[in-house]
Amino acid sequence: MTVRVLLLTQWFDPEPTFKGLVFARELVARGFDVEVLTGFPNYPGGKLYPGYRMRLIQREVIDGVKVTRLPLYPSHGQSGLGRVLNYASFAASSLLYGLFGARRPDVIYAYHPPLTVGLSAAFIRLLRRVPVVYDIQDMWPDTLRASGMFSNEKALALVGRVCDWVYRRVDQLVVLSPGFKRLLIERGVAAEKIDVIYNWCAEDMISATDAPAPSAFPPPGRFRVLFAGNMGKAQALDALIDAAGLLKAAAANVTLVMLGGGVEVTRLRALVEERDLDNVVFLPAVPMDQVGPYLANADALLVHLKQDPLFTITIPSKTQAYMAAGRPILMAVEGDAAALVRESGCGVVAEWENPQALANAIQTMCELDADQRQVMGENGRAYYRQYLSLAAGVTRFAEHFQRLGR
């Protein structure tokens, strides 16, 4: 029996999203009948993408995947009202279509955030008796509080109660880390209702490659530690700059390469110049499809976040990309992300926001011989393929869809 799956997600290609076209395409390849229910693309800029105009409904086929787009209020700025209207408008249009327009699916997959997608899925389930798999990529209200998006405690408490209501009404919860599962159990969700399915990375763009290093990349001769990605408040990269100062003072043969953009780049550059740290190199952000050669030519790849209880149960998305690239990892994030590195044997763990611990870990990695570092990289790649890859993740989702779809 072919299982019909309705993928309910507010964001979908060409918007950047974790579980977009690559997920839908893989399900179709495995024999599922898939319809994607999404909005008109406007994220992250809050304006409609070129080639699209708002209408009541638009159907298209992308790489064999049926996509139905519904109207919503395009917004993704700092305006709280605009963000609420964006979420609520898609929830309303998806609920109406799910109840009266969509061919009855065998199972609904709903992507969170935002929570309003979960509300829509829960009401469709209630009225059409369709089981729901709810994929939680962001722990609300915790993330809203930590990010400062909402500071009103009464509003946050209300969000928490709505989350609990959705959790009770869906059939299967999927989370991205063991810590997410533990937190949901603490909040009263039955353990048997929750499955941990790790996120995968953009495998077609990030993989081990023999491509030569980009011209801007520091040449061999020094141990090159690469931090790739956003440089914002959450990354707390002052600790890394302080570690660079310690490494320079110790005459360590190390260069730290900072690849990317973000609100902190200008300040961090000024800090490096002020301290005359010639062992730190900043490189501008590059498109995702050009990141692979940078990862492949680094001697080690660094993950760092600020100390926050929320991050102990979060696995930064660059972790999967680093493991897939087959390079040794310096993990300066406690909790689930550190556990992945230890379990796979793919790198060294250091205390986060501790410059001396970071410097020591980098020095330890530098002093290993090349064969030892190669084994670490191969361990990470093998672990990724077995537990974190697109193929592994879709297999687990497919099992839930088949079970509930029957």
* Same domain, residue pair 240 and 332: yes
CATH of residue 265? 3.40.50.2000
pLDDT band of 339, cuts 50, 70, 90: very high
* Same domain, residue pair 174 and 33: yes
Q: How far apart are CA 57 and CA 177, in angstroms?
A: 36
* Same domain, residue pair 44 and 121: yes
* Same domain, residue pair 196 and 304: no
pLDDT at 150: 67
Whole-model pTM? 0.89
* Same domain, residue pair 135 and 260: no
pLDDT of 152 strictly over 80:
no
pLDDT at 81: 81
What's the number of domains the chain is made of?
2
* Same domain, residue pair 362 and 393: no
Give the strands of the sheet with 329-332, arranged side by side: 280-283, 254-259, 223-228, 300-304, 329-332, 347-349
* Same domain, residue pair 247 and 291: yes
* Same domain, residue pair 242 and 282: yes
**What angle in degrees, to the nearest 10, is found between the helix axes of 317-325 and 336-344?**
20
Q: How far apart are CA 326 and CA 382, in angstroms?
A: 8
* Same domain, residue pair 32 and 154: yes
Write the CA distances from 368 to 63, 223, 294, integer angstroms: 45, 11, 21
Q: Which residue has the higher pLDDT, 259 or 64?
A: 259
pLDDT band of 156, cuts 50, 70, 90: confident
Mean of pLDDT over the chain: 92
Q: Which two tokens stand for residue 1?
A: 């029996």
Instruction: Give SS3 for 70.
Output: strand
Convert 23-57 into a string of H (helix), E (strand) and C (coil).
HHHHHHHCCCEEEEEEECCCCCCCCCCCCCCCCCC
* Same domain, residue pair 145 and 274: no
> Which phi and psi (to 5°) does residue 225 adopt?
-100, 120
Q: How large is the average pLDDT for residues 256-269?
A: 94
- Beta 132-136 vs 172-175: how paired, if at all? parallel
Which of 245, 256, 251, 297 lies closest to 280 in space, CA to CA?
A: 256
Residue 396 resides in a domain: yes
Tens-digit pLDDT profile for residues 87-146: 999 999 999 999 999 999 999 999 999 999 999 999 999 999 999 999 999 888 887 776
Tens-digit pLDDT profile for residues 52-80: 999 999 999 998 899 999 999 998 766 67
- Domain range for 153: 4-200+389-405
pLDDT of 207 strictly over 90:
no
